[in-house]
Amino acid sequence: MLTRRHALAGGLSTASLVAASAMAEARLNDRMTGDLSPVHDPCIIRQGGTYHLFCTSQANQKPGLIHWRTSPDLVTWTLIGAVMPTLPDWAQGEVPGVRGAWAPDISLINGRYHLYYALSTFGKNRSAIALQTTPTLDRSDPAFGWRDEGVVLASKPSDDFNAIDPNIVATPDGRVWMSFGSFWSGLKLVEIDPSTGKPSPGAAPAAIAARPRPSAIEAPCIVERDGWFYLFASFDFCCRGADSTYYTVVGRSKAVAGPYVDRDGKPMMKGGGFIVLHADLDPTKRFKGPGHVAVLREGGRDHIVYHAYDARKGGVPTLRIQPLGWTDDGWPIAL
């Protein structure tokens, strides 16, 4: 059984992370309202005064594929539509049987918003990461419009990796990298050409994290802070409603390509990970399987954005957002 004391072991200091970030912004999760579910595998970005959140959706879920929500304040959320009405024509040929667009990731590269997403079928690694781009997220702007950029990276049954769960990070030297992966041999990293949004010529996926069989690791998210790269990952099993055992861990490295280690020095290539989110840390015991995180960093204020399964509402995947504090020795704490 995990406890909040366990998660905070090692000391918050700095005036207890400024009184636990003003009581976690008066418990942001308790104040959130609007279209909070179903939300699975969220990603987030802000343009101007609006936060934009995208998430996984299936072919039978209205209003389309990759649901799109907005908020002016991280509190009130409105479902405004979807990125695609249907899958691209080429999708079935690339991944036979695909019926959804999974695990999107949103970033701004060379003045265009890049929305990466995954095409797959459950439990198989014939998968593809694809891309849509637009110059703006403001739908009232005449320049707005999603453009299908096709396949970015694919995996096939003979590969030892699964090309899903993309996440983009830019390094201070201006290079762009994509982490990705789910089960199989773990999480990978590949360099991206900013001019195309696709792997740089000659770039090959390199391993950055793995776990022993059944290899239950996925959903990487890398952020840079104070000269460290932090790799968040989801362990164990999602997609089982209130029976989901998903939880979130982190390791860090001085280099984007690793090696990543946890707070105890255990390599993430050997299953290491410092716990950031876990159902046992929810004092209400209501939200299960917290994972597939995105980290929103702006103005010196950080938030961790994720989904969890609401045990009081039949296990529906639900949007959750918490302030992210940092210990004096540089480890993230979900407040």
Cα 79–chain centre separation: 19
Q: CA gyration radius for the chain?
A: 19
Catalytic, 193? Answer no
The verdict on whether omega for the bond into residue 38 sits within 30 degrees of 0, i.e. cis, is yes
**Candidate list 25, 165, 218, 302, residue with the active-site label:** 218
Tokens (6 digits) for 305: 């954005």
Indicate the DSSP class of residue 182. Answer: B
Q: Across the beta sheet with 65-71, what order do the strands follow?
A: 33-34, 76-84, 65-71, 50-55, 43-47
Closest Cα to residue 279, out of 237, 229, 332? 237
Burial class for 265, CB neighbours closer than 10 Å (0-12, 13-18, 19+): exposed
In a 13 Å sphere around the CA of 196, the CA atoms on its Cβ side amount to: 12
With a CB cutoff of 8 Å and minimum separation 6, the contacts of 286 are 310, 311, 312
Whole-angstrom distance, CA of residue 273 vs CA of residue 284: 24
Number of helices (H), then strands (E), belonging to the chain: the values are 3, 23
Q: Which amino acid is at 228?
A: W
Whole-angstrom distance, CA of residue 240 vs CA of residue 314: 11
Tokens (6 digits) for 69: 């929500």
- The residue count for the chain: 335
Cβ count within 10 A of residue 202: 6
Catalytic, 298? Answer no
Tokens (6 digits) for 25: 């912004």
**Candidate list 25, 41, 105, 149, residue with the active-site label:** 41
Please identify every residue annotated as catalytic: 41, 218
